[in-house]
Amino acid sequence: MKNKFKIVFYNFDQNFKKNIVDNLKEKSEKWQFTFLSDIKKLMTLFQQNLIDCLVVANDQNERWLNAIRKHYFNVPVVIVKHSLDSLKKDIESKLFEKARVENKEGVLITHGTDTLSYALSYFRYSLKGLKANVGVTGSQIPLEGVFSPSDAVGNLRTSVFFITRLRPPHLFAVFNNGRDVFSGRLIKFRKWDTEAFEGRLAAKVTHQEIKILRDDWVLIPYEDQKLDKLHLLRTGGTIESSKTDKGGFVPKKDSVSILLKESLRGYFSDLKNYNIFSLDSSNLSYEEWETISRKIEEIGLCKSDTKFDKEIKTIYINPLFTSKDYEKLFSLCKSGAILLGYGAGNANTIKHSERSILEPLRNAIRKNKYVVISSQVALEPYDAEYESGRKLLENGGIPSGDLAVADAQVKLSYILGHKETIRKMAKTSNLNFDLLVIASFLSGVTLSKIQIEELKLRLEREKKGIFSNLNFDPFVFNDFKTAIEMVIEDLKEA
């Protein structure tokens, strides 16, 4: 990328030119100012891709400006209307909008596939104030060199491209031979196939095009964009595994850094290689993801929040479980549980059945445990369409909406890891504690009409307040206090 952003001022008189230079002098280290009145010279700069932002006076021809915007849509245009007071802010805003930004460092985490969904969700909440792009990837087939048939090659290539060219900061996972870029809701639904994951798609990559699917994702337009430093955090997994003498796969080699240096060197100047651990991802949990989060903090690219309640467990509804079995399972969940029903979130709720979940569920909630209702079916959102599913909500269950199981478990453990903060904020804001916990957990979650109705009715019946579903998740990247203040503001406006 060019050393300085090229800001071109078109058709300003000399007096205005001096005022502009004085007004923007603090930016002179990062911005190069060019003043032009010749339209041919201006168009030459456009054609040579040597303009990062065009600044024009208010009296320019609107038709001409529209033509510029149409043909050079990646170049922001700032119109100076009356005063220079907001000029610096306007230019900065437009540069950011069109991704004409600095992107000096990025992080690539290689990870096994078994717990990749949990890891991505953990990082969404643990990495605060992120300053760089963080990509997480792995593979189904071990990487055996630059010309390996492994899906790792495509996954790594796409990961490094987006870490380098995506306007930071973003966290994402890349999989399925590098064709799919996910921002969350990650689910592994195949054991061996390289097309192993589904989730919330942020981008699709083919040989013909890169299709961005999120409004807040913008690619940096410079073809020569290059990271000063790429931080590679290796954790093991299939991607760096090889067979032992006994025939089993064990992660034990550094094949990723070799491929990056030999095939993808054009994306970065310096590769920082960190061997965090060499473990199969089935051996990874919150403690290891905390280590990774703290390493990114140590590098200087975020603050790390690792306050997670590790006592949130999953309970699967099963035809052979009795009510006594469910009581024992709930006793293992100190603060809360994710209850996975059949299909649409269903379970045996017959009042006098020895296999009913209802009484164990009520007892857990009486003991101040938060029970989130989800489905054992991996794909498609849980919806509570059947009466047996609705009864779980009527009796105190919290709907999980479109959250995948890993997301639901990690988010509930993150929210309940900050119980004392929530308690203080509930008291000072005169809100019910349970209402604030539930609204925080469900922020950014898409709920069905049935789920919202049941939840509102129950909370009002229990006199806990009026529920409101914030349409974004403020806990991603924001510090906890800032995020919960947003939830409180939304509840007070309800």
Residue 355 pLDDT exceeds 90: yes
Lowest-confidence range among 17-21, 94-98, 112-116, 417-421? 17-21
Q: Are residues 154 and 300 in the same domain?
A: yes
Does the pLDDT value for residue 147 go beyond 60? no
**Together in a domain, 251 and 154:** yes
pLDDT confidence of residue 1: 45
In this structure, what CATH number is given to the domain that contains residue 436? 3.40.50.40
Are residues 72 and 130 located together in one domain of the fold?
A: no
At 465, list the tokens.
Answer: 């307040």
Alpha carbon distance 87, 26 (integer Å): 13
Q: Same domain, yes or no, for 109 and 74?
A: no
Give the domain extent around 39. 5-97
Do 293 and 344 lie in one domain? The reply is: no
Same domain, 322 and 363: yes
- State which H helix or E strand residue 440 sits in: helix 433-441
Q: CA 22, CA 449: separation in Å to the nearest integer?
A: 57
Residue corresponding to tokens 């403690």: 287
The more confident residue out of 112 and 27 is 112
Domain identity same for 136 and 281? yes
pLDDT at 20 over 90: no
Percent of the chain at pLDDT > 70 equals 98
pLDDT for 363: 97
Q: What is the pLDDT of residue 57?
A: 84
430 sits in the region (left: phi over 0; alpha: psi -120 to 50; else beta) called left
SS3 state of residue 113: coil
DSSP state letters, 262-314: HHSGGGEEEEEEEEEEEE-GGG--HHHHHHHHHHHHHHTS-EE-----TTEEE
Domain boundary among 44, 65, 97: 97
Tokens of 207: 């040989």
Confidence of residue 82 (pLDDT cuts 50, 70, 90): low
Residue 307: which of 279, 276, 335, 278 has the closest Cα? 335
- What burial class does residue 132 get, using C-beta atoms within 10 Å of its C-beta: 0-12 exposed, 13-18 middle, 19+ buried? buried
Give the end of a domain, one of 37, 71, 97: 97
Average pLDDT over residues 346-372: 96
pLDDT of residue 204 exceeding 90: yes
What pLDDT does residue 456 have? 93
Would you state the pLDDT for residue 305?
98
> Are both 84 and 112 inside the same structural domain?
no
pLDDT for the residue 146:
53
Q: What is the CATH number of the domain that holds 57?
A: 3.40.50.10850
Q: Point out the domain boundary residue: 304, 339, 372.
A: 304
Mean pLDDT of 32-53: 92
> For the segment 380-439, what is each residue's pLDDT rounded down to a tens digit?
877 778 889 999 999 999 999 999 999 999 999 999 999 999 999 999 999 999 999 999
Q: Is 11 a residue whose pLDDT tops 80?
A: yes
Beta bridge pairs of residue 133: 106
Judged against a pLDDT cut of 80, whether residue 467 lies above it is answered with yes
| 83, 117: one domain | no
Predicted confidence (pLDDT) at residue 246 exceeds the cutoff of 90: no
What is the number of helices (H) and of strands (E) in the chain?
A: 16, 20
Is the domain of 158 the same as that of 288? Answer: yes
What pLDDT is recorded for position 110? 98
Total number of domains constituting the chain: 3
Region for residue 299 given its phi and psi (left: phi exceeds 0; alpha: psi -120 to 50; beta: otherwise):
alpha
Mean pLDDT, the chain, rounded, equals 93
For residue 190, the model assigns a pLDDT of 93
The predicted structure's pLDDT at residue 17: 83
pLDDT level of residue 12 (50, 70, 90 thresholds): confident
Rg of the Cα atoms in the chain: 26
Do 144 and 278 belong to one domain? yes
Of 145-154, 253-262, 291-300, 359-368, the least confident: 145-154
- pTM for the whole structure: 0.92
Assign residue 273 the CATH number of its domain.
3.40.50
384 in the same domain as 469: yes
